[in-house]
Amino acid sequence: MPEQPLSVEQLQQLISRGPFNRWLNFTVLKIDAGGIEVRAAWREDWVVNPDRRYTHGGILAAIVDVAADYAIAAQYGRPVPTIDLRVDYHRAAMPGDLTAKARVVRMGSQYSTAEASLYDKEGELVASGRGTYLTAPSK
């Protein structure tokens, strides 16, 4: 584990390494003692229903997962594998950037837990979730 949490710039570099994360177009907005805040720039590709124009739930789940994972990465120094993820959907996410606020619930030597809340461009909660991540040392 690093001596101190990563900076916004270091976390941005880390999150941008993955092609899927680049496709979701994440921007790290904030890191503090309470967690991280990231924005995913909305894409037309996310629309599941062309008539209603809401975002596919799998995209929302992916953003929740990545945000929670990188809340751990901000402290741990690297992203870690997801073991389990639960997502609750609160309302349809219409076109527009999405902002995730994530925090570490418990940092453990083997497993860690983090949660994230996802907000639409009006600041309304659209999804939230909690994940368990493998933080055991690599062999």
Residue 49's domain is classified under what CATH number?
3.10.129.10
pLDDT at residue 138 tops 80: no
User: Is 90 within a domain?
Assistant: yes
2 occurs within a structural domain: no
The DSSP secondary-structure symbol of 137 reads P
How distant, in Å, are the alpha carbons of 2, 52, 110, 111, 118 from that of 92?
38, 10, 35, 32, 11
Of the listed ranges 66-70, 74-78, 97-101, 125-129, the least confidently predicted one is: 74-78
Answer whether residue 75 is part of any domain: yes
Number of domains present in the structure of the chain: 1
Q: Which helix (H) or strand (E) holds 101?
A: strand 98-106
Cα dihedral: 70, 74, 76, 77 (round 10): 100
**pLDDT attached to residue 5:** 76
Collapsed DSSP state (helix, strand, coil) of residue 12 = helix
Q: Name the CA radius of gyration of the chain, rounded.
A: 14
Domain span at 72: 8-134
